[in-house]
Amino acid sequence: MILPQTILKEFARATNDSKKTSSEKTVYGTYVVDGNGKPFVRIDGSDSPTPVANAMDAQSGDRVTVMVKNHQATVTGNLTCPASARSATSYMQFKDEGLVVGGLDDSGNPTGPYVVIGSTGYTVKNANGITLATFDGSGMILRDASNAVLASFASNLVKITTGAYQIVNSANQVLAEFSADKATIANGEGVMQVYNHILFLLGKVAVGVRSVFTSGNTHYYSEVVAQSDSTSPTASLQVRDDTSTPTVSSVIVSFNGVHITTPSGKGLYVNNNQVIQANQIVAVGSTVVSGTLNAHSRYTFSATISTVPSGYILTGLRSVNVTDSGGTTRTWFKLINFATNPSSSTVAATVFNSEDSKKAIKVTFDWFAIRNSGSTSTTPQYIDIGDVGD
């Protein structure tokens, strides 16, 4: 029997085709991890575990779907715990204190720092359960690992405690530093520091402390100013106003001396006794007394100072000079003592002649007097630190 040509061609195509067909199917099973951590799946109806590759998260005992293709098994689904639920329960769990958010183990216990979201606020805790921070309607509290309060912030309170703290800028320069015994505020141009019960104000150019009172259009100042912007630093203690002709009372100290300014008709007091009413504190003068002094004798020479200016009071002697009549100092004249009597404007000196003969002698008194009344003030001296703080 001769077969038709078409049948022969179909037979040849069927027996000679080398293309392989792939089989693919999805089955159910139980996920298993052996002692070495290698995953398997026990497919329903089979007693032998099949090695498996994971395409999603699974744990021992989970019911899973498995795709078998080309003699390989791959977990494609988790019926016990879908992927979204597994992720949520690994990092979130409801407890009595609220919603716990963080790394959790299988029993729901935190494995690291975690946050508790409660009905009234938020709490941040470390892995040991120590509260590090609380946030609620009353404010915020930060604590260290021993539960000591580091900082507290509320609507009417900012509290920082325990240890030393610094505030630095982006260049790591210390702008402020606080500790139990010292507080410092700095900006590169000056420093304010409280240390050992002393307030220090340090400036590159000047330091000023000012109190201001305003009445009408006039400002009244009480100031302490220290300037060091030159080789002649100056310090000033003063009170003044800012009228066109200022009324000033000041004490200014510099390398050139001490300058005292008093307003017209006002005075300088020492131990509650007025000693000056003008810029010129001291008046000076000289008085000479001549005479003879017997051998091996002493004598007190005295004089009334009639040239003390009005408004001044004789105060003391700057020097007493004993010479012979020609003005030459002699070793045989010994100055024993000297005295000043302000009430009578008199001065006196006792001199001893150690020679064996009478000698001519001349005593020169250089005296000074301090003003205590009846003066007027000249142009006031004061230091103005500008409008800072007005």
- The pLDDT of residue 312: 84
- The pLDDT of residue 390: 39
Q: What is the mean pLDDT of residues 94-116?
A: 80
Contact 207/226 with Cβ under 8 angstroms?
yes
Dihedral sign from CA coordinates of 11, 15, 16, 21 = positive
| Distance between CA atoms of residues 95 and 352, nearest Å | 109
pLDDT grade, residue 79 (50/70/90)? confident
- The pLDDT of residue 223: 92
Summarize pLDDT for 325-370 with one digit per residue, the tens: 999 999 999 999 999 999 899 999 999 999 999 999 999 999 998 8
Contact 276/371 with Cβ under 8 angstroms?
yes
Summarize pLDDT for 276-314 with one digit per residue, the tens: 555 456 788 899 999 999 999 999 999 999 988 887 889
pTM equals: 0.40
Sorted by where each begins, the domain ranges of the chain are: 86-160, 165-203, 206-261, 282-371
- The pLDDT of residue 386: 59
Percent of the chain at pLDDT exceeding 70: 82
Q: Report the chain's terminal Cα–Cα distance, integer Å.
A: 128
Least confidently predicted of 107-116, 221-230, 376-385: 376-385
Contact 358/293 with Cβ under 8 angstroms?
yes
